[in-house]
Amino acid sequence: RAYKDKMTDGSGAGGYLGKGLKKYAFKGYTRCSDFAIFQSIFDIENDGYNTVRLKGDLHCLVLADYFLDIFHKRASHYGIILPKMCFNIKGAFLGVIDDYNVPDAPLPGVTDTRSMIYKTFLATPLLQLPSTPRELHFTDKDGIGNDETELSQALNAFTHATLVDSNEMVLVADLQGRWIGASDKGLTAIYCFQQQHKCNKICMGLGLAPYATATQSQPAFLQSILN
């Protein structure tokens, strides 16, 4: 409780873990493990909008994890050893609190001690991080990244492979920095990636053709996986 009072000083006390542009996170528990609990940062929204946002986040996690599994199968087929890569999806769930009347927001200047401001929440396994973790950005909002490290190369190849394996329909990127409006630029972002991406040694090793000559046909090994 009272974790929201810690949202500005970064102390991590009161169960508060952190916040982004549109969501905050605090610590939660089940009988089995610890979780990070996410809700919309705007308590002026209704629960329906909060639910739509969280469902979208969970859907993106599931979709990205699906394509990552195909990426690992592709690497195994071609004998490519990849660095450890995973999404924090195993054990994640969307929850709804039954018979819960959300308390009204307190008056200005009064401590906000509400534990939940919506009935719906997204829970993901709590990652054990250093006390002062350092964020690493491997790709930008358009999916374009650098090839400075082995992990960077693998992530760039993963973005390339996902676009190919989805028949040019899915681009895995870090959609950040948009305060209002849709962050997903759709085909515009896909075309931008195709024009700017430069294949690295992992792309080549995985049989991914440069976009100048790439086609939308699925390789035979992928068809066997999906069928």
pLDDT of residue 224: 46
Query: Among all chains, which residue has been given the structure tokens 């492979």?
Result: 161
**Rounded CA separation 45/110 (Å):** 20
Same domain for 143 and 94, yes or no, is: no
Choice between 105 and 6, residue whose per-residue pLDDT is larger: 105
Statement to judge: residues 7 and 119 lie in one domain: yes
Contact 143, 173 (CB under 8 A): yes
Could you tell me the CA-to-CA distances from 147 to 84, 161, 179 in Å, in that order?
16, 16, 29
In a domain, 201, yes or no: yes
- Does residue 68 fall inside a structural domain? no
Q: What is the pLDDT of residues 172-209, one digit of tens each?
A: 876 554 444 556 667 877 888 888 888 999 999 999 98
104 plus 178 within the same structural domain: no
Q: Residue 72 domain-assigned?
A: no
Q: Which two tokens stand for residue 76?
A: 């195994």
With respect to residue 66, please indicate whether it lies within any of the assigned structural domains: no
Q: Are 196 and 142 in contact (CB under 8 A)?
A: yes
Is residue 80 domain-resident?
no
Q: Which tens digits make up the pLDDT trace of 100-154?
A: 777 777 788 777 777 788 889 999 999 877 666 666 666 655 556 666 788 888 9
Q: Chain centroid to CA 133: how far? A: 17
Q: Answer yes or no: are the C-beta atoms of 89 and 62 closer than 8 Å.
A: yes
pLDDT at residue number 226 = 43
Number of folded domains that form the chain: 2
Model pLDDT, residue 45: 62
Residues 192 and 153 in one domain: yes
Q: Could you tell me the strand order of the sheet in which 23-29 lies?
A: 16-19, 23-29, 34-40, 120-125, 93-96
Report the CATH number at residue 176: 3.20.200.10
Q: Is 119 in the same domain as 201?
A: no
Residue 204 lies in a domain: yes
Do 109 and 37 belong together in one domain? yes
pLDDT of residue 188: 79
Question: Does some domain include residue 78?
Answer: no
Residues 212, 102 share a domain: no
Same structural domain for residues 156 and 192? yes
Range of the domain at 91: 3-59+87-125
Same domain, 101 and 157: no
Q: Are residues 173 and 108 in the same domain?
A: no
First to last CA, the chain: 49
Specify whether 166 is located in the same domain as 217. yes
Does 121 share its domain with 178?
A: no
Return the pLDDT at 175: 54
Whole-model pTM: value is: 0.77
Domain end, chosen from 125, 153, 173, is at 125
For the record, the structure tokens of 130 come out as 């250093």
Q: Are 222 and 74 in contact (CB under 8 A)?
A: yes
